[in-house]
């Protein structure tokens, strides 16, 4: 396991740059570990949390850098590490649960988990007069998360 996660300078470096095939190998090792631990009736919470985190990271990697909601609003997928850079705590602005991956909704200046984002898109209405607010929020957010000094 150690050799699979070596070679990264930080947690941020690992989360942003670990190859998907290496994630798959780590998940496989963790699942095998869980099976062994279940056989001896040993708790497996840490491994299960690690698997969930890696699966969320894989999902994040498949998302485009920016997307549009069905209504036309600009959305930026972010990692919890990006939320920290923005001054947040890595919790969903709607349900207050900690997450790994967020959908930043520029027009709201809010970051939602996938479930809350999917709920929001069912009720959101597009207002063209919000474009300037959305643009300002998106540009500020992109500047902060891409600034290497943060």
Looking at the chain, which runs of residues are DSSP E strands? 67-68, 74-79, 101-105, 110-112
pTM: predicted TM-score of the whole model, two decimal places: 0.72
Q: What is the SS3 string spanning 91-134?
A: ECCCCCCECCEEEEECCCCEEECHHHHHHHHHHCCCCHHHHHHH
pLDDT digit string, tens, across residues 35-71: 777 676 666 667 777 777 787 877 777 777 899 999 9
Residue 72 reports pLDDT greater than 70: yes
Task: Give the confidence band of 150 by pLDDT, cuts at 50, 70, 90.
Answer: low
Q: How far is it, in rounded angstroms, from Cα 110 to Cα 104?
A: 6
**pLDDT tens-digit profile of 98-128?**
888 999 999 999 999 999 999 999 999 999 9
Residue 65: Cβ within 10 Å count? 7
């Amino acid at each position: 396991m150690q050799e699979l996660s070596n070679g990264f300078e930080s947690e941020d470096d690992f989360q942003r740059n670990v190859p998907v095939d290496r994630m798959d190998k780590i998940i496989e090792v963790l699942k095998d570990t869980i099976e062994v631990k279940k056989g001896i009736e040993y708790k497996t919470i840490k491994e299960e949390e690690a698997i969930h985190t890696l699966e969320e990271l894989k999902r994040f990697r498949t998302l485009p850098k920016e997307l549009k909601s069905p209504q036309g609003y600009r959305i930026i997928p972010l990692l919890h590490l990006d939320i920290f850079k923005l001054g947040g705590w890595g919790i969903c602005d709607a349900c207050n649960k900690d997450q790994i991956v967020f959908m930043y909704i520029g027009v709201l200046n809010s970051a939602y988990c996938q479930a809350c984002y999917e709920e929001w898109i069912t009720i959101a209405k597009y207002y063209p007069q919000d474009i300037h607010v959305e643009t300002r929020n998106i540009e500020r957010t992109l500047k902060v998360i891409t600034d290497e000094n943060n």
